[in-house]
Structures are given as C-alpha cells and as structure tokens.
Amino acid sequence: MNNSLFHEPWWLSAVTGGRYEEVSVQQGGKTVGRLPYVSMQRGPFRISRMPPFTHLLGPLVNAGVGKPQSRMAKRLSITRALIDQLPAFSYIEQHFDPAADDGLALADGLAFQDRNFMVAPQYTFEIDCRRSPEELWAAMHFKTRQHVRRAEEKYEIRSFDDPEQFAHIYQMNLGAFGRKNRTDFLFFPKLFSECRSRNCGEIIAAYGADSRPVSLVYLVWSTDTMYYLMSTRSANRDDNGSVNLLIWSAMKLAHERGLKFDLDGVYTSGTARFLSGFGGDIKTRLVAKRTRSVFRGLQCLKLRYTGNETQFFT
C-alpha cells in the first residue's frame, strides 16, 4: 500500500513515543488494510484520540483492481474487518486522510456508519500549487494580495530551526491571546528531527525589523501534498499580514516541490473567509466518532450543569 505521510510508522512512532498500535487485514499473505490508533486510559475509560500533530489518519486500504463497484465492495469489507478488531473504546475518533486511498476513501464512511459510528464532514481548502506562481497569484483575492504586498515591505521570511523555541513561542502567544494551550509538545522535537532527516518538514517564520519572529508556520509534506500543520502569531496589533505572507511563501515552496497545498481544516466561517482568499478549492474530509452510552451520559451531564463541552478525563 502507498502510505500517506501520517500513516508512516516513523511518523506515528515519533508523535507517540512509540506507543501507537494498529489493526490490520491480511489477504494472500499481503497486508491489504491498516488502521493505526492510540489507546489511553482516562479515569475508568479507555479512549482513543488522534495522535499528537496527526491531523489525518483513518483506514489505509488496498482494494486491488477491477470495476469500481467491485473495488468499493472489497474496500468496505476490509474496512469493516479493521473496525471489528478495534478494542472496546468508550470513545474513539478518527479523521480520514483522503490522500491515503485508492480513489474510494469516502466509502469508508459507509463502513464506519455500519459499525455505529457517527460520520460527519470536515472541510478544508486545497490549492494546486503545481500551477505557475503567476496563476496562483492571479487566483488570489485582491485584498489578500494587498496584505501580502504590505507584509513583504515589513517582514523577511526565513527558515526557523529550533523546535523547542517554536513550542515556547506557540504557548506564549496563546497566553497573550488569553487562550488555553491544549497541545502537548513533548514529542514535537522528535517529530521535527524525523521530518528534517527525511526532508519532509520545515518551520518558516516572518521576522520583523527587530529580527524577532512575528509569526511562524510548521509545514510537512508527502509525495503529493504539503500540509499547513501548525501556526502561531504574536498578539502585536501592529502586525499586518504576516500570516498572509507566510501562506503565500508556503504556496511558493509547494510549487517548487510540485505539490498541492492543504490549508488544514475550516472550523469557522471566519476561517473560511480568510482561507478562501488564497484561491483554493474547498474539499471534504470525513470524521468518524463512536461514544459508548456511559461516557456519553457523563458528557451530557457535564454540559447540562457546567455548560462546558470539553470531555471528561481529557
């Protein structure tokens, strides 16, 4: 099978400290299906969340060759067999990687629904950076181009090689915005090192006149797609367009490598308006979740009495 970046054993080992597991399906002495996951104990519950820094995962399936309907039937059978091998989690969540498929990834949702998962769409913007820079620039909204031009007058884009400092700046910026950090950076230096050694990851930063980074973004890429994995910016109100400039710089890097550029998820209408200015096409991913009744009941009680939607035992 053609592993996606996030299914690579070295990636999963790096982001979990080697503590990931997976189920698989064998046919004719070959692996035709894989589904990695992370298992953790939270109070009395065994749960499975997405591994750190791993925004996409889901089943990886080789349905072979043949007519589309035959391949889809085989894919559904393999995916159901993978699900049936999973431990009895009180809560499990998987975000499917549409790039890690044989052209039938959306069919996985049918198999998960058949196994009592709730399946919902998640949206992202994808830019085909294999086009020329002139075409990419012309496809951007004129206001987005204005922000980029102004930012080019104020900031310099350079590579940033210190993962510990990136984590420090990320958490410091969240605090400045009054937000709580929910990202565990324990394994981030290892991930950065592994990606660096394979030439599939880079942090780029926008530096101001004082030679300090105003905003930073961590980019990772596979053989066909670059992902906007993480970003942070200072709370400086004088910052005008540094993130726009970083995204434009990332688009040019993706072009140099002949890649598509995935802007990594649209969660609000405000984010959609901002990202749409870069001229990408909206794409659909799938998110599958299954919650056992006791765990779900506690969640409902917490929401009712506290108004807090975050999960127990996070």
Q: Where in the chain is the domain with CATH 3.40.630.30?
A: 130-258
Neighbouring residues of 313: CB distance < 8 A, sequence distance ≥ 6: 42, 43, 45, 47
From the candidate CATH numbers 3.30.450.40, 3.40.50.300, 3.40.1000.10, 3.40.630.30, the one assigned to the domain spanning 130-258: 3.40.630.30
- DSSP element (H, E) containing 207: strand 201-207
For 97, list phi and psi in degrees, rounded to 5. Answer: -100, 105
Query: What is the full per-residue pLDDT of the chain (314 aa) written as tens digits?
Result: 666 899 999 999 999 999 999 999 999 999 999 999 999 998 889 999 999 999 999 999 998 888 988 999 999 999 999 999 999 999 999 999 876 665 677 789 999 999 999 999 999 999 999 999 999 999 999 999 999 999 999 999 999 999 999 999 999 999 998 888 889 999 999 999 999 999 999 999 999 999 999 999 999 999 999 999 999 999 876 787 999 999 999 999 999 999 999 998 788 888 899 999 999 999 988 999 999 888 777 777 766 676 655 555 55
Helical spans, DSSP H, in the chain = 9-16, 68-84, 108-114, 133-139, 142-154, 163-176, 188-197, 242-256, 269-276, 293-306
Q: Which residue bears the tokens 């001229």?
A: 279
Question: Residue 86 CA to chain centroid, in angstroms?
Answer: 22
Distance of alpha carbon 177 from alpha carbon 235, whole angstroms: 6
Q: CA angle 197-201-204, nearest 5°?
A: 125
Angular region, 312: left φ>0, alpha ψ -120 to 50, beta rest: beta
CATH architecture classification, 5-123+285-306: 3-Layer(aba) Sandwich (3.40)
